[in-house]
Structure 1
Amino acid sequence: MTMDRSTGGSVTAPRMKIIEIDAFERDTSLRLPFRFGAATLERAPQAFLRVRVEDEEGRSAVGGAAEMMVPKWFDKNPAFTPAQNVDQLRASIRVAAAASLEPSPPMTLFTAARVNEMETVSRLPANPLAAGFGPSLIARAALDAYCRLASISVFDAVRRNLIGIGGHLLPGDIDADAASATLAGLRPAGSISARHTIGLLDPITEGDIVHPVDDDLPQSLEAVIAHYGNHWFKIKLSGVLDADIDRLTRIAAVLDRVPDYRVTVDGNEQFGAAEQLGALLARVEATPRLARLRAAIAFVEQPFSRAITMETPLGNLAAQLPFLIDESDDGDDAFARARRLGYTGVSSKTCKGIYRSLVKAIRIKTGSVPGLFLSGEDLTCQAGLAVQQDLALVSLLGLSHVERNGHHYVAGMQGAPQAERLRFAVAHPDLYEWVDEGPLLAIRGGRIAIGSLGTVGYASGVLPDFDAMEPLS
């Protein structure tokens, strides 16, 4: 195989071409409504990509990727309906696929992903976060295909830098040799803590349940803790002071029964100014029943709208708690700009690009700024390719916990044929437990066992049944 040494230092990486892309979707209905910020999600389609890559010797292989097309996260503009939001994501897939298939020389996986993202964003400039959705899926599916072609795991591909991180598309503040050394030192774990999301409509106690769900899965926060044993939690805020304090107090009454729990707090862009958030934190400090919850806060996520975040310094809030950007992380320079405002954290999400996450980790590990951190955040990742590929990424990044919410709001591999469900359950017996609905994500003692993700391919021993899906609408 011809090797590309353009990535710098001693790094060598194979050059590939993407020769086929097929896009599909499956409709997904939630067992519970999920309210985050001003949006309530009850159903959404999940996108699936099948990508074929070819090496310079003419050998080819197929890989896959999947992600929920969630409305009102990538674009919260109230002028757009949820259906229009989903169409934005479909458009990103179509544009990214067309750009990927245009004639070009073979490239390393990293270079191909970067070029595709830049080209797609240039063609869909209105919202870089939404535009990056399609390129992120293609990059994952292409990596999966390469790993299957080379008969290696994604962990081997990344640690040996066969993905080709380096060259002129690597941000200028990162040394290529240091990047390769950082990747070589990554050590995926055999399990990871699941950080349970507490949505704004979620019942806190069994007595809060108004509309019981007809299944055996937990519905209230009390039942979640009893069933899964979580000790990490993510609390969504509404931005309405009295309502948030009342809800936090009710949540704290349940969490305070859990030994050594930790929480993150997600503002979901609901605060209009630093003073508004400061008033909430002051009330939290002044409420005795919230003392233990306040001590358990690890960081606050994206409190302000992306429209004002980069013009809103945190000021003295940054001295009270660590702060993280999520929705505002829409480009290479976003974290650097946010750091000047007082932020020290940034999210990892597969929907924003696996190479983005890896580059962030390299920058944090090799940089000279202390206290910076990366956190794994969910976008309702579903059982199968989506949750497996995200879990593999955050484990490789060395994160000890990750927000997981897809299993709580959707029961199992919805829409998949029984044979497909069985294949995934057999291929990953540590990750799933089998119930009447099929394979469900297994969380025991608050942790997810992920040893089987080290299989050949990108974290999946099998591929979904693409022929049983609908073409992308």
Structure 2
Amino acid sequence: MSYSIKKIELYVRETKPGRMLFSLGKKKQENKSQQGLLNPLGHIRLVLQDSEGNETFGCAGDRLSVRWLDKRPGRSLDLKRRELVQLLNDAKEIALSIGEFETPFEFWEKAHPQIMQRGREMQQEDLTSSYASAQFERAVLDAFCRAHEKSIFEMVKTGQVGFEAASIHPELKGFPFEKSLPQRPLSQFWIRHTIGSSDPLTEADLNAANRANDGLPETLEEYVREDGIRYFKIKVSGSPDQDLQRLSAIWDVIVSAQAPVITLDANEAFDDLKTFEKFLVRFDRELTGMFQHVAYIEQPLRRQLTLDPSTKKSITRLAELKSLLIDESDGTTDSYRRALDIGYDGTSHKNCKGVFKSLANYALMMKRAETGRSTFLSAEDLQNLPVVPLQQDFTTLGILGIEHCERNGHHYNFGLSMLSEKDRANALASHPDLYVEKDGEGFLNIQNGQVNCASLQCSGFGIANEPDWDSMMNMNEWVKLRHSE
């Protein structure tokens, strides 16, 4: 049976002001109002029609995180948002022009190169173009699986989405991808709590005037005590003195957690290998106990340097001290393969970088493991928010079998308060394992540091109910209203 896309609509759901301030680490954030922490969520709704005339909807969504996608200096937030929306509109026209296809992967193979090329014509970062492509890929997957009344795990596991790993990584020709997947989807995940450079660690760091007083944890020690968090992601700035002082203070708090696991994220903070190496050596020497609990270090170098083959000797040596992961430099489908050849061990999965890309990287990881090479995928996404972005990402992690994931949307935002009454009621009713109701509001249900979400194994891509589109804004109208010149 063949399929075609009949209609696509772009929407934005605005969130409420964040309950907590946040800064990555490279530059200390000035004391700004919480209005600066609004996180608009872009959404796509499409209508898929099969060759017999049957129609079904599909959706995807992600935060319009242009600050992460595009870090080039001299480009304002308004400019980057306008350009991203324009790219999404262009990608929409490309998706509509594809015509008939038999599987979601066939659609992706036709649409993805065109969207990437359009992004380059617009002088966008490859990461931004990947983001645009991923939205339509996921919406098609959602609709296709829903039309078959099966979960995405079932459809991927049985090969019905048409995925061919070798078309992305040629060395995977003949690799038994479906057999390499888990027998059943993972549905329980450890929450990895991100600690920004300005996040309060203890009660002493947060005076009464600055407290949100909304009944939720606010300091790091409160998350350890109340939610049982034992996985932590720490932002570092690229300044060894500043970072080591901050790391020492954090270790004093999390050492009480049960078997703490730590990851570091530099967000491209180190401009050269020498500074990064000095930091690693000092960290190992001065905070030996903490260093032993670090699983990996994410994106230490700026993206332009990360995949430079001339760094291979240094990266290989440094990776022996601690596993290294790429993130922002993972803009194209061959990035992980190139990174492995240089000496990096892992790459991050993010739905906003593409599901088929992550499936291919999973297969590459499993293939390289046959040679004894230790490689891995991680799950990273600071502000993955309900309903569509959060649930689709957890669903993908269930396919990839990644046991712990960065999740801080519940820290910086108040429960399901950004949703309409209809969406909130549907989330609580359809996913009682993932969300819990307290005092009339819904919240991520974290128990002993983990969440359970078996209910996401429904028809489609983790979305049991069609989103309340009437509660969102047309994306083009939104960008004119919020980001006019």
Give the match for residue 21 of structure 1.
Answer: 8
2:301 corresponds, among 279, 299, 304, to: 304
Counting matched residue pairs gives 457
Between the aligned partners of 1:71 and 1:123, the Cα distance in structure 2 is 17
SS of the aligned residue for 1:214 comes to: coil
The answer to which structure has the higher strand fraction is 1
CA contact (8 A) 1:46 1:66 kept: yes
Length-normalised TM-score, structure 1: 0.92
SS of the aligned residue for 1:34 comes to: coil
Give the match for residue 219 of structure 2.
Answer: 220
| RMSD, matched Cα | 1.8
- Does the alignment pair 1:363 with 2:351? no
Give the match for residue 161 of structure 1.
Answer: 159
What per-residue deviation string (whole Å, max 9, x for no partner) do you get for residues 401-458 of structure 1? 1111111111123432112201111100000011346221111101110111111221
Distance change in 2, residues 1:244/1:456 (3 Å): same
SS of the aligned residue for 2:20 comes to: strand
Give the match for residue 64 of structure 1.
Answer: 59
Give the match for residue 109 of structure 1.
Answer: 104
1:292 corresponds, among 284, 289, 293, to: 289
CA contact (8 A) 1:315 1:342 kept: yes
**What is the CA distance between 1:170 and its match in structure 2?**
4.2
What per-residue deviation string (whole Å, max 9, x for no partner) do you get for residues 143-167 of structure 1? 1112221111111111112110128
Give the match for residue 469 of structure 2.
Answer: 466
Distance change in 2, residues 1:256/1:93 (3 Å): same
**What is the CA distance between 1:242 and its match in structure 2?**
1.3
Between the aligned partners of 2:84 and 2:154, the Cα distance in structure 1 is 31
What per-residue deviation string (whole Å, max 9, x for no partner) do you get for residues 180-206 of structure 1? 3334x4531231111111111111111
Distance change in 2, residues 1:37/1:87 (3 Å): farther
4+ residue segments displaced more than 6 Å: none
Give the match for residue 197 of structure 2.
Answer: 200
SS of the aligned residue for 2:292 comes to: helix
1:85 corresponds, among 80, 89, 95, to: 80
Length-normalised TM-score, structure 2: 0.90
SS of the aligned residue for 2:426 comes to: helix
Between the aligned partners of 2:358 and 2:166, the Cα distance in structure 1 is 18
Give the match for residue 180 of structure 2.
Answer: 182
- Does the alignment pair 1:433 with 2:436? yes
- Does the alignment pair 1:98 with 2:85? no
Distance change in 2, residues 1:103/1:299 (3 Å): closer
Give the match for residue 32 of structure 1.
Answer: 20
Equivalent position amino acid for 2:191 in 1: A
Distance change in 2, residues 1:306/1:186 (3 Å): farther
Give the match for residue 191 of structure 1.
Answer: 188
Distance change in 2, residues 1:437/1:235 (3 Å): farther
Alignment of 1:72-471 (within 5 A): 72-125=67-120, 126=123, 127-166=125-164, 169-175=167-173, 178-183=176-181, 185-210=182-207, 211-287=210-286, 290-311=287-308, 312-313=311-312, 314-367=315-368, 368-369=370-371, 370-436=373-439, 438-471=441-474
**What is the CA distance between 1:316 and its match in structure 2?**
2.0
The answer to which structure has the higher helix fraction is 2
**What is the CA distance between 1:315 and its match in structure 2?**
4.3
CA contact (8 A) 2:91 2:115 kept: yes
Between the aligned partners of 1:194 and 1:88, the Cα distance in structure 2 is 33
CA contact (8 A) 2:165 2:172 kept: no
CA contact (8 A) 2:168 2:333 kept: no
Between the aligned partners of 1:167 and 1:199, the Cα distance in structure 2 is 36
User: Percent identity, aligned pairs only?
Assistant: 31
Between the aligned partners of 1:188 and 1:54, the Cα distance in structure 2 is 28
Which ranges in structure 2 are unaligned for 5 or more consecutive residues?
30-35, 480-485
Between the aligned partners of 1:93 and 1:108, the Cα distance in structure 2 is 22
CA contact (8 A) 2:26 2:238 kept: no
Which ranges in structure 1 are unaligned for 5 or more consecutive residues?
3-14
**What is the CA distance between 1:53 and its match in structure 2?**
0.8
Between the aligned partners of 1:38 and 1:206, the Cα distance in structure 2 is 24
Between the aligned partners of 2:279 and 2:9, the Cα distance in structure 1 is 47
What per-residue deviation string (whole Å, max 9, x for no partner) do you get for residues 23-51 of structure 1? 10022232112212447662231101111
